[in-house]
Amino acid sequence: ILFQIFDAFKSRLHDSNSKVNQVALETMHKMIPLLKDNLSPVINMLIPATVDNNLNSKNPGIYAAATNVIQALCQYLDNYLLLQPFCTKAQFLNGKAKQDMTEKLA
């Protein structure tokens, strides 16, 4: 059921409406401490949905919310769950997002 919920939720994480996008990111930030390592089945879906457009967003609210989600993932999930998706993102992103992901990996 977690997969079904996040499959529907992920499209809100890069919604074309910036207010919807930002609220989705802020909601994700609140959910991470509650779900912690239970997010492992959806982490490979969740990280790209959070990172792909949001860490390079020119909207400061969206960028801050995406950064908060990444920080919460680092704080509440085991690092082994994050290593592969973070490496993949750091390898293929560009701009500020690539820098942010590389710093998290370090």
Q: How far apart are CA 4 and CA 59, in angstroms?
A: 29
Query: pTM score, two decimals?
Result: 0.94
Q: How far apart are CA 79 and CA 86, in angstroms?
A: 10
The closest alpha carbon to 43, from 99, 89, 94, belongs to 89
What tens digit of pLDDT does each residue of 41-92 get? 999 999 999 999 999 999 999 999 999 999 999 999 999 999 999 999 999 9
